[in-house]
Amino acid sequence: MRVERSVPASEPRIKRALVKFRDVLRKKSLRMTPVREAIVRGALEHTDHFDAQKLARRLQANGVHEASMATVYRTMPLLVEAGILQQTLLSSGEGVLYEIAFEREHHDHLVCTVCGKVIEFHFEAFERLQKDLAAKYDFELTRHVHELLGRCSSCRRAARARA
């Protein structure tokens, strides 16, 4: 099992992401633009999960005028399609959240419902079982959502202390 942590993207990594994005755009006869590049860069600055609003705010904070909300919203699906971002933490009830997918290995989440702490994990046994299950139903698996929710160690301790 592996636990991994996100790091801010380095310039070379950003370049690779831009190349990949450009490819996807080309395949769909769409165009690379300064605004889209700014959005890719802004997205890759995040190390945790974020939503379209947060990304837009960050872009505003950077250049004061990098991209409008509408454009950010319009771009998110493209970033997902290009494998730069992926949706995450669907159970959070906080609307649509994203995280970096580019050059990161697949992982799932363990979430503390008290303090909000998120632990990323990758557990090969789950992956295998999922394949088995899909095979049993003759499904071709494309992705999955797996979130475990509970109380983390310290929140449990705190609860006990209070009692």
- Interaction site with DNA (CB under 7 A): 25, 29-36, 51-53, 65-71, 73-75, 95-96
Closest distance between a second copy and the C-beta of residue 6, in Å? 18
DSSP calls for 86-105: EEE-GGGSSS-EEEE-TT--
Q: Which of 37, 45, 80, 123 binds a second copy (CB under 8 A)?
A: 123
Residues 72-101 that bind a second copy (CB under 8 A): 87, 90-91
- 3-state secondary structure (DSSP) of residue 50: strand
Q: Give the distance, in angstroms, between the CA of residue 158 and the centroid of all CA atoms in the same chain.
A: 30
Smallest gap from Cβ 117 to DNA, in A, equals: 22
The pair of three-digit structure tokens given for residue 67, joined into one six-digit string: 């991209």
Residue 67 interacting partner from a second copy, DNA, none (CB closer than 5 to 8 Å by kind): DNA
Contact of residue 136 among DNA, a second copy, none (CB under 5-8 Å per partner type): a second copy
Q: Does 142 bind a second copy (CB under 8 A)?
A: yes
Q: Candidates 10-18, 30-38, 50-58, 144-152: pick the segment binding a second copy (CB under 8 A).
A: 144-152
Tell whether residue 130 is a contact of a second copy (CB under 8 A): yes
Contacts for 40 with CB less than 8 Å, ≥ 6 apart: 14, 17, 18, 21, 79, 84
> Cα dist. 97→48, 51, 71, 77, 91 in Å?
10, 5, 17, 12, 10
Which residue do the tokens 């990758």 mark?
A: 122
User: What residues make contact with a second copy under the rule CB under 8 A?
Assistant: 1, 87, 90-91, 110, 112-113, 119, 121, 123, 125-126, 129-130, 133-134, 136-153, 156
